[in-house]
Chain A
Amino acid sequence: MSEFLLQNLNFILPFFLLILGYSAGSIAEKRHYRSIERREQKFLALPAVTLKDVQDNEKTSGQLVIGNAVISIDYFKRALAILRNIFGGRVASYESLVDRARREAILRMKEEAAKAGAHIIVNMRIETSAIGQSANRKKQIGSVEAIAYGTALIKQA
């Protein structure tokens, strides 16, 4: 039996990695989503808007706040993406990835704003990019980076 495994290693190894990727990946993802939802509840009172002017007639000072997050893919997601590349369509495994990265980035930005004592973040922008794609030609995908930045308005006493 062990000889069979050794001989067909190049077939069994990816299968094993897939199982590992799927289990570890989905555990990490569930945990991350729970943390994100908990913190979003906490920061519900601190809005972030894309508007420049919220017309609240308060005397405020502004400060740039930034939050960013880099989330890595796992083996299972990569395999799904490659299969999708053949058949086309929506890459569901990636949508959760970028969603997590962006929401995490926004939360970190809000944390920074809260520390400065702001009550609102205006003119927020979000950028997403893929890291590790061109770093190594052989491997196709590495990770997704999201950055959220805006101006935090702090009430002047």
Chain B
Amino acid sequence: MRFHPRPANGNVNVPKTHPLAEMAWLAGGLFVIIAVVYLLLTLLTGWVVTALPVEAEVWIGEKILQNDPGMPCEPLQKRLDQLVACLPQNSSLRHYPFSVRVIDSKYVNAIALPGGTIVVFSGLLKEVESENELSMILAHELGHYAHRDHLKRLGKGLIFGAASWLIFKDGSQPLLMPFAEIMEARYSQAQEERADLWGLDLLNKRYGHVGGSQAFFSRLLEKGDRGKFAHLLASHPHPGKRIENLVRAAQKKGYPMGEVQPVEDDIKAFLKRYCNIKQS
């Protein structure tokens, strides 16, 4: 047989679709699906979690925290009890065995743990300049309990982790993390704002006015915050935005401003005695 060289024109084996177009299509589709699943999951955990009785949450809290973190703080406990006393009699929050613990650390933060333990870092205690500010911070944490925010986060994290483990058994989760984190950050910011507003209501009940509610955030702003851009994906909203929300809510509900009371000595004594922080 003769041989006749014939080149093949074109390439049947490689498709003509542009890879960037394909990537945009697939990634976009995936993002839409994840967003939908996430929203459904949020609604679901919201319903389930609000049905969980406080006693069950306390039990979970005990199991998670083997030992109590930090050290007990009598002065803070006193102020917390005074705040709780301002709540209506039938409030579900009255079922919580609230306790405040202090961890000696430079962090300026406070955390609400499942079960009713509030942890305050001594860095935060050092920063507050009035009784009202301190009460606002404690009231904000109580707001998280009122909305069961910590439970919602826990539940959603568990279910999302389990679902992605089931579907992607071999660890392509890292590709999904960025998607999930963006949405988690926005959701968390909304939770923080709601806790702020709830705390504002309680502050008004406690003192009869809302002086001192924004002072803390104003000082954060002055100390040179990183700018609105950095807060786009942070878990807390930008301090400027928080101040705006508080001012607007106070105006709408007709809460008056008032004189703030300076921090009482028992806090300063506690810091001096238990925390290695120089009092400025």
Contact = CB atoms under 8 A, between A and B. Distances in A.
A96 B22 CA distance: 14
Contacts, number: 78
B53 interface: no
Chain B CB within 10 A, most for which of A10, A47, A82? A82
Interface in B149-189: 170-172, 174-175, 177-178, 181-182
Interface stretch (B1-9, B117-125, B137-145): B1-9
Contacts of A56: 1
A10 B5 contact: no
A28 interface: no
Contacts of A1: 227, 229
Interface in A1-55: 1, 3-4, 7-8, 10-11, 14, 18, 22, 26, 40-41, 44-45, 47, 54-55
A92 B14 CA distance: 7
Interface string A61-78: 000000000000000100
A93 interface: yes
Contacts of B257: none
Interface residues of B, number: 33
A41 B7 CA distance: 8
A44 B230 contact: no
Given A7-B230, A82-B172, A22 B19 contact: yes
A152 B58 CA distance: 80
B15 A3 contact: no
B188 to A, nearest CB: 14
Interface stretch (A83-91, A107-115, A124-132): A83-91
Contacts of A41: 7
Contact of B13 (A55, A82, A99): A99
A22 B22 CA distance: 12
A138 interface: yes
A32 B23 CA distance: 22
Contacts of A84: 26
Nearest to A77: B19
A140 interface: yes
A144 to B, nearest CB: 13
Nearest to A119: B3
A80 B29 CA distance: 13
A83 B3 contact: no
A83 B26 contact: yes
Contacts of A85: 172
A56 B3 CA distance: 10
Given A82-B175, A87-B29, A11 B181 contact: yes
Contacts of A92: 14-15, 17, 19, 22
Interface of B: 1, 3, 5, 7, 11, 13-15, 17, 19-20, 22-23, 26-27, 29-30, 170-172, 174-175, 177-178, 181-182, 226-227, 229-230, 232-234
Kindly list the 8 A-B residue pairs having the minimum CB-CB distance in the complex, ordered from nearest: A11-B178, A83-B26, A44-B5, A99-B13, A96-B14, A4-B230, A92-B15, A82-B172
25 contacts: A3-B230, A4-B226, A7-B230, A7-B234, A11-B177, A11-B178, A11-B181, A11-B182, A40-B7, A47-B3, A79-B175, A82-B175, A83-B26, A84-B26, A85-B172, A86-B30, A92-B22, A93-B22, A95-B14, A99-B13, A99-B14, A120-B3, A138-B171, A140-B170, A140-B172
Given A47-B5, A83-B27, 5 more contacts: A14-B174, A80-B23, A83-B30, A85-B172, A140-B170
